[in-house]
Amino acid sequence: MQRFDLLGIGNSVVDILYEVSDEFITKTKLDKGVMTLIDENKAEEFYSLFQKGIEIAGGSVANTTVGFASLSGKPAFIGKIRNDNLGESFSKSLLDIGVFYKTKPTSQGPGTARCFIFVTPDAQRTMNTYIGACSLLNPKDIDEKLVQNSNITYLEGYCWEEQLAKESLIKAAEIAHKSGNKVSLTLSDPFCVERHRNEFKDLIKKHIDILFANEIEIKKLYETDNFNESAKEISSITEIAALTRGENGAKIYNDKKVTDIKPKIFNKVVDTTGAGDLFAAGFLYGLSKKFSILESGDIASISAGEIISHFGAKPETNLKDLLSKELK
């Protein structure tokens, strides 16, 4: 089997994006800026009310693999879909950009997952996610040889909602470490951290080498309003902690050192959907190519900067070409 730089394991979701007003968010009683899980009935209701959204393959870790491919890396992905139209669309979009994807789709049960992303004028996104077939990810879907042949295995915190998915992630982490490979995790969302705080702490301590989180998530993890305090805690139990801080850039904690990463803005901020996912793509790409922490952070910042300059979480500019221009 060929060797991969990165293997992502996460939710296979079709993102459906809408530009809305703050009034809409208030009127529909949505929780602005966070992700909320919805059932199939609510998903159908949203889909019938707002049929003109932009549909693209998404899911946090899947977005990261797409960005990784755009940087010229060699990524693979494991995630569950249904053999329906949305599932076919998801699979095709990954394969077209160069992501290795062969997870067997399910032929029964819930349909392929979808995430309704409502973007307000301030570029904040409010997400309502129907997990659907994602919930059926199980340990049998974890291709042992694929994990063994991937330098970094990147896990999605959103998957922690389902017991079999949890077992799948732990299985992959154990295989990766036995093979001498690295394991990374994104905390995904404050919602996830609130629900699974103690389990996440245990997972990180036992299995995670590289952690990604934003400022809100890491403070939620340690139940504090003090960023520095939470950063100190996480850096004591993991090899690398990459903590993003929105317009303030990011801080990378590694080997008792702190590296400040400046944000990169191209034109103006249009939509923050996928910013964290593409930051992870850039940083993991840098690490996989043996760049320094600072260089990897700069690649991450450039990748995130491109994604927030337009609508949607798929790069509109070839990131490899953009790097060549920006890192001269």
List the pLDDT tens digit at each of the 328 positions of the chain.
689 999 999 999 998 888 889 998 998 888 898 888 899 888 888 878 776 778 888 889 999 999 999 999 999 999 999 999 889 989 998 999 999 999 999 999 999 999 898 989 988 889 898 989 999 999 999 999 999 999 999 999 989 988 999 999 999 999 999 999 999 999 988 989 999 999 999 999 999 999 999 999 999 999 999 999 999 999 999 999 999 998 899 999 998 899 999 988 777 777 676 789 999 999 999 999 999 999 999 999 999 988 877 766 678 788 888 888 887 6
Cα gap 277→64, rounded to integer Å = 5
Residue 115 within a domain: no
Task: Please give the pLDDT value at position 141.
Answer: 97
pTM of the complete model: 0.89
Q: Is residue 300 part of a domain?
A: yes
pLDDT given for residue 1 in this prediction: 66
Residue 128 maps to a domain? no
The sign of the dihedral angle between the CA atoms of 250, 158, 71, 321 is negative
Please give the Cα distance from 47 to 203 (Å, whole number). 36
Within a domain: 265: yes
Whether 213 is covered by a domain: the verdict is yes
pLDDT at 311: 67
C-alpha 107/C-alpha 112 separation (Å) is 11
Residue 182 lies in a domain: yes
Q: Residue 132 gets which letter from DSSP?
A: G
Per-residue pLDDT at 271: 65
Percent helix, strand, coil in the chain (nearest 5)?
45, 25, 30
| Residue 202 domain boundaries | 4-10+60-109+134-326
DSSP bridge partners of 37 = 129
CATH code assigned at 185: 3.40.1190.20
Residue 117 is assigned to a structural domain of this protein: no
Q: Look at residue 266 and tell me if it is in a domain.
A: yes
Number of domains forming the structure of the chain: 1
